[in-house]
Structure 1
Amino acid sequence: MLTGLRFCDIKYLNWKQVRGEQDNYYLQFRQRKTYKPQLVYISNQAFYLLGERGDPATLVFPKVNYNYTRDLLKVWPKQAGINKHLTFSCLRHTYATLQLDHGTDIYTISKLLGHLHLKTTQRYTRVMDKAKKEAANRIVLDL
């Protein structure tokens, strides 16, 4: 949820693709879906949560498994009292929505998600009620 990456890109991410230094960490890889090169900046927090670096050729998440992850996404919401079906794509959607809510422009979000077309990103993000209220109050006539 800190990167907005697709499950397939996380599954095959290796340590050679994790680069950078304090306040400038990034992932550089070829997207599994589009086969396009991708550079994704990540926060210091995301970098540190990756844990101790392994051999450059080894996977960052060697035991990640789609079925196991899918099952966790069924259990965690129930444990939290949330009655909603979640998928890994929901995490991507949440990432995009949180970025939008924190003021990141749609073009930047599109690039963070690795979308080729802005229209794809626009489907991921919904205008938040807070943003709509703020927009409504921006226009004030000086009477």
Structure 2
Amino acid sequence: MSDDLAAPQDVPAGFAVLDWRRGFGRQIGPLYRKQADGRSVMGFRVEEHHTNGMLNAHGGMLMSFADMSWGNVVSVERSSYWVTIRLTCDFLSSAKLGEWVEGSGDVLSMEEDLFIVRGRVWTGDRLLMTGTGVFKPIKPREPRPGEKAYVAS
């Protein structure tokens, strides 16, 4: 991948690029995040490297984005790295090349150190995906802006 993937392109106000310089996040980026009213929302602009043969966002890209945007609630609530235990997605519509896509998750419950999250992914007024995920915090870290400090129970 070339470094031009990290250049912001027509990003809505309030979103900041996620500074991934290695690994999978860099391959599928750029991805963005904003914090507003205690809620984290992630976003990305559908670029050619995100698309399938019909120039829609590839289902694998949307699932990867859902995983990151829904699981991000663990980072916000715990300032912790986390892993995905289960991800269930329902595809409702597609995102076309050039569209801005957003995603966010809400905690349904926290049981036995597992976060059960309901999430959605959308573009404008069109819902693209809904689903649920189970995420497990694995390693506390320093809080980032908008995140709560980890407190051991």
Give yes or no for TM over 0.5: no
Structure having the higher strand fraction is 2
Q: TM-score, normalised by structure 1?
A: 0.24
Q: Who wins on radius of gyration, i.e. which is larger?
A: 1
